[in-house]
A and B are shown apart, each in its own frame.
Chain A
Amino acid sequence: MEVSRLQRRYIDFISALFHEFTELQHLQDESNPDFVSEVASLFFEDSERLLNELSRTLDQQTVDFKKIDAHVHQLKGSSASIGAQRVKNVCLTFRSCCDENNLEGCLGCLQQVKQECYLVKNKLDALFRLEQQILATGGVVPIMSKD
Protein backbone atom coordinates (compact mmCIF):
# COMPACT_ATOMS: atom_id res chain seq x y z
CA MET A 1 0.00 0.00 0.00
CA GLU A 2 2.79 2.35 0.97
CA VAL A 3 4.62 1.52 -2.27
CA SER A 4 1.63 2.30 -4.47
CA ARG A 5 0.98 5.52 -2.57
CA LEU A 6 4.58 6.61 -3.15
CA GLN A 7 4.39 5.57 -6.79
CA ARG A 8 1.20 7.60 -7.29
CA ARG A 9 2.87 10.59 -5.69
CA TYR A 10 5.89 10.09 -7.94
CA ILE A 11 3.71 9.99 -11.06
CA ASP A 12 1.87 13.18 -10.04
CA PHE A 13 5.13 14.89 -9.30
CA ILE A 14 6.86 13.94 -12.50
CA SER A 15 3.81 14.82 -14.58
CA ALA A 16 4.14 18.36 -13.33
CA LEU A 17 7.83 18.44 -14.11
CA PHE A 18 9.28 19.52 -17.39
CA HIS A 19 8.37 17.22 -20.25
CA GLU A 20 11.93 16.73 -21.38
CA PHE A 21 12.68 15.18 -18.04
CA THR A 22 10.79 12.11 -19.15
CA GLU A 23 13.10 12.02 -22.16
CA LEU A 24 15.98 11.86 -19.70
CA GLN A 25 14.27 9.01 -17.88
CA HIS A 26 14.00 7.04 -21.10
CA LEU A 27 17.75 7.21 -21.58
CA GLN A 28 18.20 5.42 -18.27
CA ASP A 29 18.36 1.63 -18.33
CA GLU A 30 20.23 -1.29 -16.80
CA SER A 31 23.46 -0.29 -18.51
CA ASN A 32 22.99 3.31 -17.36
CA PRO A 33 21.09 2.98 -14.07
CA ASP A 34 22.13 6.36 -12.65
CA PHE A 35 21.90 8.35 -15.86
CA VAL A 36 19.27 10.82 -14.68
CA SER A 37 20.95 11.66 -11.37
CA GLU A 38 24.30 11.83 -13.14
CA VAL A 39 23.07 14.35 -15.69
CA ALA A 40 21.25 16.32 -12.99
CA SER A 41 24.43 16.50 -10.90
CA LEU A 42 26.43 17.65 -13.91
CA PHE A 43 23.85 20.35 -14.56
CA PHE A 44 23.93 21.64 -10.98
CA GLU A 45 27.73 21.72 -10.86
CA ASP A 46 27.98 23.40 -14.23
CA SER A 47 25.23 25.93 -13.55
CA GLU A 48 26.77 26.84 -10.20
CA ARG A 49 30.10 27.43 -11.91
CA LEU A 50 28.49 29.55 -14.61
CA LEU A 51 26.41 31.57 -12.15
CA ASN A 52 29.52 32.31 -10.10
CA GLU A 53 31.34 33.39 -13.24
CA LEU A 54 28.42 35.59 -14.22
CA SER A 55 28.33 37.25 -10.80
CA ARG A 56 32.05 37.86 -10.95
CA THR A 57 31.96 39.27 -14.47
CA LEU A 58 28.99 41.54 -13.77
CA ASP A 59 30.79 42.86 -10.72
CA GLN A 60 33.72 44.17 -12.73
CA GLN A 61 34.25 47.87 -13.24
CA THR A 62 34.15 47.39 -16.99
CA VAL A 63 31.61 44.74 -17.84
CA ASP A 64 32.53 42.36 -20.66
CA PHE A 65 29.11 41.66 -22.19
CA LYS A 66 30.54 39.25 -24.74
CA LYS A 67 31.93 37.11 -21.95
CA ILE A 68 28.62 37.23 -20.14
CA ASP A 69 26.81 36.25 -23.30
CA ALA A 70 29.13 33.27 -23.76
CA HIS A 71 28.40 32.04 -20.23
CA VAL A 72 24.66 32.54 -20.62
CA HIS A 73 24.77 30.70 -23.93
CA GLN A 74 26.31 27.72 -22.15
CA LEU A 75 23.72 27.84 -19.40
CA LYS A 76 20.93 28.10 -21.96
CA GLY A 77 22.27 25.06 -23.74
CA SER A 78 22.60 22.81 -20.75
CA SER A 79 19.25 23.86 -19.30
CA ALA A 80 17.60 23.08 -22.63
CA SER A 81 19.29 19.69 -22.68
CA ILE A 82 17.76 18.59 -19.39
CA GLY A 83 14.46 20.27 -20.16
CA ALA A 84 14.62 23.13 -17.66
CA GLN A 85 12.58 25.36 -19.94
CA ARG A 86 12.10 28.20 -17.45
CA VAL A 87 15.85 28.53 -16.95
CA LYS A 88 16.29 28.53 -20.70
CA ASN A 89 13.65 31.23 -21.16
CA VAL A 90 15.38 33.54 -18.69
CA CYS A 91 18.64 32.91 -20.52
CA LEU A 92 17.04 34.10 -23.76
CA THR A 93 16.08 37.38 -22.10
CA PHE A 94 19.51 37.55 -20.51
CA ARG A 95 21.19 37.30 -23.92
CA SER A 96 19.02 40.10 -25.26
CA CYS A 97 20.21 42.29 -22.39
CA CYS A 98 23.80 41.40 -23.27
CA ASP A 99 23.20 42.42 -26.89
CA GLU A 100 21.96 45.77 -25.67
CA ASN A 101 24.81 46.16 -23.16
CA ASN A 102 22.08 46.58 -20.58
CA LEU A 103 23.77 46.13 -17.20
CA GLU A 104 20.65 46.60 -15.13
CA GLY A 105 18.77 44.10 -17.26
CA CYS A 106 21.62 41.62 -16.93
CA LEU A 107 21.67 41.97 -13.17
CA GLY A 108 17.93 41.37 -13.03
CA CYS A 109 18.22 38.32 -15.25
CA LEU A 110 21.03 36.95 -13.12
CA GLN A 111 18.83 37.04 -10.05
CA GLN A 112 15.99 35.46 -11.96
CA VAL A 113 18.08 32.67 -13.41
CA LYS A 114 19.57 31.93 -10.00
CA GLN A 115 16.06 31.59 -8.62
CA GLU A 116 14.96 29.31 -11.46
CA CYS A 117 18.02 27.07 -11.06
CA TYR A 118 17.28 26.86 -7.36
CA LEU A 119 13.71 25.77 -8.11
CA VAL A 120 14.90 23.11 -10.55
CA LYS A 121 17.32 21.78 -7.99
CA ASN A 122 14.62 21.60 -5.34
CA LYS A 123 12.24 19.79 -7.67
CA LEU A 124 14.80 17.23 -8.71
CA ASP A 125 16.03 16.70 -5.15
CA ALA A 126 12.45 16.00 -4.09
CA LEU A 127 12.04 13.63 -7.02
CA PHE A 128 15.18 11.68 -6.20
CA ARG A 129 14.11 11.43 -2.55
CA LEU A 130 10.79 9.97 -3.68
CA GLU A 131 12.64 7.48 -5.87
CA GLN A 132 14.74 6.38 -2.92
CA GLN A 133 11.65 5.96 -0.78
CA ILE A 134 9.96 3.83 -3.44
CA LEU A 135 13.03 1.64 -3.80
CA ALA A 136 13.42 1.36 -0.03
CA THR A 137 9.87 0.01 0.28
CA GLY A 138 10.60 -2.60 -2.37
CA GLY A 139 8.80 -0.86 -5.22
CA VAL A 140 9.75 -0.03 -8.78
CA VAL A 141 10.16 3.53 -9.96
CA PRO A 142 7.47 4.24 -12.58
CA ILE A 143 8.73 5.21 -16.04
CA MET A 144 6.54 7.81 -17.69
CA SER A 145 5.35 7.35 -21.24
CA LYS A 146 6.87 9.75 -23.76
CA ASP A 147 3.48 10.79 -25.13
Chain B
Amino acid sequence: MEEAEGGGEGEGEGEGEGEVVELRVLVVDDSPVDRRMVEGLIKRSGKGMFQVIAVDSGKKAMEVLGLNNAKTDSTAADEQKIDVILTDYCMPEMSGFDLLKAVREQSSPKPIPVVIMSSENEPQRIDRCRAVGAADFFLKPLQSTDVQRLRDSVTSTPLALKTPLAPKNAPSKRKMPMDRMAEKSGTERRPRLAGVAVAWLPLRSCDTPAV
Protein backbone atom coordinates (compact mmCIF):
# COMPACT_ATOMS: atom_id res chain seq x y z
CA MET B 1 0.00 0.00 0.00
CA GLU B 2 1.21 3.47 -0.75
CA GLU B 3 1.99 6.11 1.78
CA ALA B 4 0.10 9.36 1.75
CA GLU B 5 1.50 11.60 -0.92
CA GLY B 6 1.89 15.21 0.08
CA GLY B 7 1.51 17.55 -2.79
CA GLY B 8 2.45 21.08 -1.88
CA GLU B 9 4.49 23.46 0.15
CA GLY B 10 2.01 23.51 2.98
CA GLU B 11 -0.76 25.70 4.13
CA GLY B 12 0.30 29.13 4.84
CA GLU B 13 0.38 32.70 3.92
CA GLY B 14 1.25 33.91 0.51
CA GLU B 15 3.96 36.31 -0.26
CA GLY B 16 3.14 39.80 -1.28
CA GLU B 17 0.15 41.85 -0.40
CA GLY B 18 -2.71 39.36 -0.45
CA GLU B 19 -2.93 36.40 1.87
CA VAL B 20 -3.33 33.17 -0.09
CA VAL B 21 -4.71 30.38 2.02
CA GLU B 22 -4.33 26.97 0.46
CA LEU B 23 -7.11 24.50 1.00
CA ARG B 24 -5.93 21.04 1.94
CA VAL B 25 -7.76 18.43 -0.07
CA LEU B 26 -7.56 14.76 0.79
CA VAL B 27 -7.91 12.71 -2.39
CA VAL B 28 -8.94 9.11 -1.78
CA ASP B 29 -8.84 6.66 -4.69
CA ASP B 30 -7.61 3.09 -4.98
CA SER B 31 -6.62 3.65 -8.63
CA PRO B 32 -3.09 5.04 -8.94
CA VAL B 33 -3.94 6.43 -12.38
CA ASP B 34 -6.98 8.29 -11.14
CA ARG B 35 -5.15 9.57 -8.07
CA ARG B 36 -2.42 11.06 -10.20
CA MET B 37 -4.88 12.46 -12.73
CA VAL B 38 -7.00 14.12 -10.06
CA GLU B 39 -3.92 15.50 -8.36
CA GLY B 40 -2.64 16.88 -11.64
CA LEU B 41 -5.98 18.44 -12.52
CA ILE B 42 -6.42 20.05 -9.11
CA LYS B 43 -2.94 21.51 -9.15
CA ARG B 44 -3.20 22.75 -12.74
CA SER B 45 -6.72 24.15 -12.58
CA GLY B 46 -6.59 25.11 -8.94
CA LYS B 47 -3.86 27.70 -9.52
CA GLY B 48 -2.35 27.40 -6.10
CA MET B 49 -5.69 27.12 -4.30
CA PHE B 50 -5.08 23.58 -3.12
CA GLN B 51 -2.55 21.41 -1.40
CA VAL B 52 -3.22 17.79 -2.32
CA ILE B 53 -2.76 14.83 0.00
CA ALA B 54 -3.51 11.56 -1.81
CA VAL B 55 -4.15 8.14 -0.26
CA ASP B 56 -5.17 4.84 -1.79
CA SER B 57 -7.86 3.63 0.60
CA GLY B 58 -10.65 4.64 2.93
CA LYS B 59 -8.69 3.11 5.79
CA LYS B 60 -5.66 5.33 5.05
CA ALA B 61 -7.98 8.33 4.83
CA MET B 62 -9.31 7.54 8.30
CA GLU B 63 -5.75 7.50 9.61
CA VAL B 64 -4.98 10.86 8.03
CA LEU B 65 -8.15 12.28 9.52
CA GLY B 66 -7.44 10.74 12.91
CA LEU B 67 -10.69 8.80 12.83
CA ASN B 68 -9.38 5.25 13.02
CA ASN B 69 -10.32 3.41 16.21
CA ALA B 70 -7.27 1.22 16.40
CA LYS B 71 -4.57 2.45 18.68
CA THR B 72 -1.51 2.88 16.56
CA ASP B 73 1.72 4.59 17.22
CA SER B 74 0.59 7.47 15.05
CA THR B 75 1.42 10.87 16.40
CA ALA B 76 -0.55 14.07 16.23
CA ALA B 77 1.43 14.94 13.11
CA ASP B 78 -0.25 12.05 11.32
CA GLU B 79 -3.63 13.66 11.80
CA GLN B 80 -3.48 16.43 9.28
CA LYS B 81 -5.91 19.28 9.05
CA ILE B 82 -8.03 18.65 5.99
CA ASP B 83 -10.39 21.19 4.47
CA VAL B 84 -12.20 18.95 2.00
CA ILE B 85 -12.25 15.25 1.15
CA LEU B 86 -12.55 14.11 -2.46
CA THR B 87 -13.15 10.41 -2.52
CA ASP B 88 -13.91 7.78 -5.11
CA TYR B 89 -17.16 6.00 -4.43
CA CYS B 90 -16.22 2.46 -5.34
CA MET B 91 -13.20 1.18 -3.40
CA PRO B 92 -12.46 -2.21 -1.83
CA GLU B 93 -12.94 -2.82 1.90
CA MET B 94 -14.04 0.70 2.77
CA SER B 95 -15.99 2.47 0.06
CA GLY B 96 -16.22 6.22 -0.41
CA PHE B 97 -19.76 5.98 0.90
CA ASP B 98 -18.52 4.32 4.10
CA LEU B 99 -15.94 7.07 4.46
CA LEU B 100 -18.60 9.72 3.93
CA LYS B 101 -20.75 8.18 6.67
CA ALA B 102 -17.80 7.94 9.05
CA VAL B 103 -16.91 11.61 8.54
CA ARG B 104 -20.51 12.76 8.85
CA GLU B 105 -20.92 10.78 12.06
CA GLN B 106 -18.33 12.94 13.75
CA SER B 107 -19.99 15.35 16.13
CA SER B 108 -17.87 18.23 15.00
CA PRO B 109 -19.66 21.62 14.71
CA LYS B 110 -18.20 21.96 11.25
CA PRO B 111 -17.67 18.56 9.65
CA ILE B 112 -15.24 18.32 6.78
CA PRO B 113 -17.11 18.45 3.47
CA VAL B 114 -16.93 15.22 1.52
CA VAL B 115 -17.21 15.22 -2.25
CA ILE B 116 -17.87 11.89 -3.93
CA MET B 117 -16.56 11.03 -7.38
CA SER B 118 -17.69 8.12 -9.48
CA SER B 119 -17.35 6.88 -13.04
CA GLU B 120 -20.99 5.77 -12.98
CA ASN B 121 -23.80 8.26 -13.21
CA GLU B 122 -26.37 6.38 -11.15
CA PRO B 123 -29.22 8.37 -9.59
CA GLN B 124 -29.53 5.80 -6.76
CA ARG B 125 -25.91 6.33 -5.87
CA ILE B 126 -26.20 10.12 -5.98
CA ASP B 127 -29.35 10.04 -3.85
CA ARG B 128 -27.69 7.76 -1.34
CA CYS B 129 -24.76 10.13 -0.99
CA ARG B 130 -27.03 13.13 -0.80
CA ALA B 131 -29.05 11.54 1.99
CA VAL B 132 -25.95 11.17 4.12
CA GLY B 133 -24.77 14.72 3.48
CA ALA B 134 -22.24 14.63 0.65
CA ALA B 135 -21.17 18.13 -0.33
CA ASP B 136 -21.16 17.32 -4.03
CA PHE B 137 -20.96 14.50 -6.52
CA PHE B 138 -18.52 14.53 -9.47
CA LEU B 139 -18.63 12.28 -12.48
CA LYS B 140 -15.29 10.86 -13.61
CA PRO B 141 -13.19 11.76 -15.46
CA LEU B 142 -13.05 15.07 -13.63
CA GLN B 143 -12.89 18.35 -15.51
CA SER B 144 -11.41 21.71 -14.65
CA THR B 145 -14.86 23.08 -13.77
CA ASP B 146 -15.06 20.46 -11.02
CA VAL B 147 -12.06 22.02 -9.34
CA GLN B 148 -13.98 25.28 -8.83
CA ARG B 149 -16.91 23.28 -7.51
CA LEU B 150 -14.50 21.60 -5.12
CA ARG B 151 -13.55 24.98 -3.72
CA ASP B 152 -17.21 25.96 -3.49
CA SER B 153 -17.96 22.79 -1.53
CA VAL B 154 -15.78 24.04 1.30
CA THR B 155 -18.11 26.96 1.92
CA SER B 156 -21.44 25.81 0.53
CA THR B 157 -24.26 23.73 2.03
CA PRO B 158 -24.32 19.95 1.79
CA LEU B 159 -25.79 18.31 -1.28
CA ALA B 160 -28.84 17.25 0.73
CA LEU B 161 -29.97 20.83 0.88
CA LYS B 162 -29.20 21.73 -2.70
CA THR B 163 -31.47 21.42 -5.67
CA PRO B 164 -30.85 18.22 -7.62
CA LEU B 165 -27.75 18.34 -9.77
CA ALA B 166 -28.25 17.86 -13.48
CA PRO B 167 -26.23 14.75 -14.29
CA LYS B 168 -23.39 15.18 -16.75
CA ASN B 169 -24.50 14.31 -20.21
CA ALA B 170 -21.58 12.21 -21.36
CA PRO B 171 -22.24 12.29 -25.11
CA SER B 172 -22.18 16.09 -25.16
CA LYS B 173 -18.94 16.47 -23.25
CA ARG B 174 -16.39 16.22 -26.04
CA LYS B 175 -16.03 15.00 -29.53
CA MET B 176 -14.08 11.78 -29.97
CA PRO B 177 -11.49 11.11 -32.64
CA MET B 178 -12.06 8.65 -35.43
CA ASP B 179 -9.91 5.88 -34.03
CA ARG B 180 -12.61 4.95 -31.57
CA MET B 181 -13.85 1.50 -32.25
CA ALA B 182 -17.52 0.84 -32.87
CA GLU B 183 -19.03 2.36 -29.76
CA LYS B 184 -22.14 0.32 -30.20
CA SER B 185 -20.20 -2.85 -29.60
CA GLY B 186 -19.52 -2.00 -26.01
CA THR B 187 -21.16 1.25 -24.99
CA GLU B 188 -24.39 0.99 -23.12
CA ARG B 189 -27.10 3.40 -24.03
CA ARG B 190 -29.17 4.43 -21.12
CA PRO B 191 -32.63 5.88 -21.57
CA ARG B 192 -33.02 9.34 -20.24
CA LEU B 193 -36.07 10.68 -18.48
CA ALA B 194 -36.23 14.45 -18.26
CA GLY B 195 -32.47 14.70 -18.25
CA VAL B 196 -31.93 12.00 -15.65
CA ALA B 197 -29.94 8.96 -16.66
CA VAL B 198 -31.64 5.73 -15.71
CA ALA B 199 -29.20 3.08 -14.64
CA TRP B 200 -29.70 -0.36 -16.09
CA LEU B 201 -26.74 -1.79 -14.34
CA PRO B 202 -27.45 -3.97 -11.34
CA LEU B 203 -26.16 -2.80 -8.00
CA ARG B 204 -22.44 -3.40 -7.82
CA SER B 205 -20.60 -4.81 -4.84
CA CYS B 206 -19.65 -1.22 -3.88
CA ASP B 207 -23.31 -0.22 -3.67
CA THR B 208 -24.71 -1.02 -0.27
CA PRO B 209 -28.43 -1.70 0.15
CA ALA B 210 -30.58 1.42 0.52
CA VAL B 211 -30.23 3.02 3.91
Contact = CB atoms under 8 A, between A and B. Distances in A.
Interface stretch (B36-44, B98-106, B129-137): B36-44
B165 to A, nearest CB: 20
Tell me which of A15, A73, A76, A96 has the highest count of chain B C-beta atoms within 10 A of its own C-beta: A73
* Contact-size category for B: 20 to 34
Interface in A32-83: 32, 35, 38-39, 42-43, 45-46, 66, 69-70, 73-74, 76-78, 80-82
A27 B40 contact: yes
B31 A89 contact: no
A145 interface: no
The main secondary structure of chain A at its interface with chain B is helix
Nearest to A39: B36
Nearest to A82: B33
Contact of B186 (A73, A77, A91): A91
A92 B187 contact: yes
Nearest to A96: B188
Given A31-B43, A91-B186, A96-B188, 5 more contacts: A16-B178, A26-B44, A39-B36, A86-B180, A93-B185
Interface of A: 15-20, 24, 26-27, 29, 31-32, 35, 38-39, 42-43, 45-46, 66, 69-70, 73-74, 76-78, 80-82, 85-86, 88-93, 95-96, 99
